[in-house]
Amino acid sequence: MSSVLSMVEKKLAALPVSVQMQLPDGGKIGDANARLRMKVNDRATLVNFATGQAGNLGEDYVEGRFEVEGSMRDLMNVAAAILNESPIDAARGNWFTGLARHLVSIYRHSTARDARQIQFHYDLSDEFYSLWLDPRRVYSCAYYRTPDMTLAQAQEAKLDHICRKLRLNSGERFIDIGAGWGGLLLWAAENYGVDATGITLSKNQHAHVNRLIDEKGLRGRVRMELLDYRHLDESVPYDKIASVGMFEHVGRAQLEGYFSKLRRLLKPGGLIMNHAITAGGVYNAEVGAGMGQFIEKYIFPGGELTHISNELAKAAIAGLEDVDVENLRPHYARTLWAWSDSLESQLDAARATLKPGLQGDKSLRAYRIYLAGCALGFEQGWIALHQVLFQHKATGRQDELDNPADLTFPWRRDYIYK
């Protein structure tokens, strides 16, 4: 144990944030005037600290093996500093490890298992999410069109950014796959006049959005269904498709099937917006140093990331052409810090929205670590957020750059940003 303690003391001395640590035996090490204070209740936590297992430390916090006084931003700076190696330096592996990962991905994403996994996360508590999300409950990366935007303004800017990229027009059939609490679905219907369908596997979200549809008098032109995307009817294709924050739940083994399904749901020449978290490393399906396992256990069971290069390859195999790619990584770091700061400012209220007792306290602790940890991950480039606009492969027209009236996608970006 003395060697572990020596490693801990060396790491404490090198941190960018002053930390005092109270050990399980009551002794204290570190700076007496520290900005961040940790009370360690379990010796295993010291081992995780010494070896840079940030994800295991997150689990230690959720399970009450240590307490912390200070800001989550300081705690995340400590987490980044104790890592022994980059959490995205995953090895390519061989054919056997690749096959094993593929089979695990297939197993994890049956329709029944996906429904349970989505409900585990999104049906935690609508009141809890409403405390720290914007009023529309848009639970995805915002778009800070100007630096002084509030979170609510940036989320509306994101919704409009997507609608502009999709070139939504009145009367078009539009579907939002994984529609959440209905932010994009209702924005598109109210501001662009589309006939809009949303699907979700969350019972809470399904009920919430259907209430909003009735309150806004949109019944008949807007609908929200409790449905897996794999069961969508392909007989009447859509003009435009959006998938925002859903791609991460699909599974790497299902990506070709996912994009093939979307292509079959789309009219020839139609557009798809795929807005998704992507891996920072080419080969890793999750962030290393135990962080991916933490998210799998406490936040998003069944979630799998892939690098943008793999996303583009799988879409191309399915017959889709990428016509616009934008990385919003810095925007998601700012979004997550806004969520984290909002949650941190009302911890007692948040605790009251969750199941009383140990389970609710664990959920709150998990989300404190999750939001701040993901903000750190986007800041560091361990994960990214890509918006990719796809359409059916080009028709081979010779006059596309002349932008004729019947061309779905103009080959200049002016229409998005003007």
* β 28-30/19-22 pair status: antiparallel
The pLDDT value recorded for residue 125 is 84
Q: Are 285 and 306 in contact (CB under 8 A)?
A: yes
Helices (DSSP H) in 278-328: which residue ranges?
291-298, 308-317
User: Tens digits of per-residue pLDDT, 335-352?
Assistant: 999 999 999 999 999 999
Per-residue tokens: 409: 């996608």
Determine the average pLDDT of the residues in 234-251: 94
Q: Are 46 and 25 in contact (CB under 8 A)?
A: no
Q: How far apart are CA 92 and CA 99, in angstroms?
A: 12
User: Tens digits of per-residue pLDDT, 353-364?
Assistant: 988 766 778 889
Q: How far apart are CA 207 and CA 226, in angstroms?
A: 9
116 pLDDT above the threshold of 90 = no
Q: How large is the C-alpha radius of gyration of the chain?
A: 23
The pLDDT value recorded for residue 356 is 77
As beta bridge partners, residue 279 has 383
As beta bridge partners, residue 177 has 199, 243
Greatest mean pLDDT among 13-17, 186-190, 355-359:
186-190
Q: How far is CA 55 from the centre of its chain?
A: 17
The pLDDT value recorded for residue 296 is 79
The pLDDT value recorded for residue 252 is 81
Greatest mean pLDDT among 129-138, 359-368, 385-394:
129-138
58 pLDDT above the threshold of 50 = yes
Q: How far apart are the first and last CA of the chain?
A: 62
As beta bridge partners, residue 82 has none
Residue 119 or residue 185, greater confidence: 185
Other C-beta atoms within 10 Å of 399: how many?
A: 8
Indicate the helix (H) or strand (E) that contains 21. Answer: strand 19-22
Among 100-104, 254-258, 295-299, the least confident range = 100-104
Residue 68 or residue 1, greater confidence: 68
The pLDDT value recorded for residue 401 is 60
What is the average pLDDT score of the chain? Answer: 87
Domains and CATH numbers, the chain: 2-82 (3.30.1050.10), 98-417 (3.40.50.150)
Q: What is the pLDDT confidence band of residue 115, given thresholds at 50, 70 and 90?
A: low
Residue 87 or residue 213, greater confidence: 213
Indicate the helix (H) or strand (E) that contains 333. Answer: helix 329-344
Determine the average pLDDT of the residues in 12-38: 92
Among 171-180, 373-382, 405-414, the least confident range = 405-414
108 pLDDT above the threshold of 60 = no
The pLDDT value recorded for residue 2 is 73
234 pLDDT above the threshold of 70 = yes
The pLDDT value recorded for residue 96 is 39
**What is the DSSP code string of 194-253?**
-EEEEEES-HHHHHHHHHHHHHTT-BTTEEEEE--GGG---SS-EEEEEEES-GGGT-GG
**What is the DSSP code string of 357-394?**
THHHHHHHHHHHHHHHHHHHHHHHTSEEEEEEEEEEPP
Q: What percent of the chain has pLDDT over 70?
A: 83
Q: What is the pLDDT confidence band of residue 43, given thresholds at 50, 70 and 90?
A: very high
Indicate the helix (H) or strand (E) that contains 72. Answer: helix 72-82
Determine the average pLDDT of the residues in 63-90: 87
User: Tens digits of per-residue pLDDT, 281-323?
Assistant: 887 766 665 777 888 787 777 778 899 999 999 999 999 999 9
Nearest to 302 by CA among 125, 129, 140, 120: 120
As beta bridge partners, residue 392 has 320
Q: Are 192 and 184 in contact (CB under 8 A)?
A: no
List, by residue number, the catalytic residues: 374
Determine the average pLDDT of the residues in 269-291: 83
As beta bridge partners, residue 322 has 390
Q: 201-233 burial string, b = 16+ CB within 10 Å, else e? A: bbebbbebbbebbeeeebeeebbbbebbbeebe
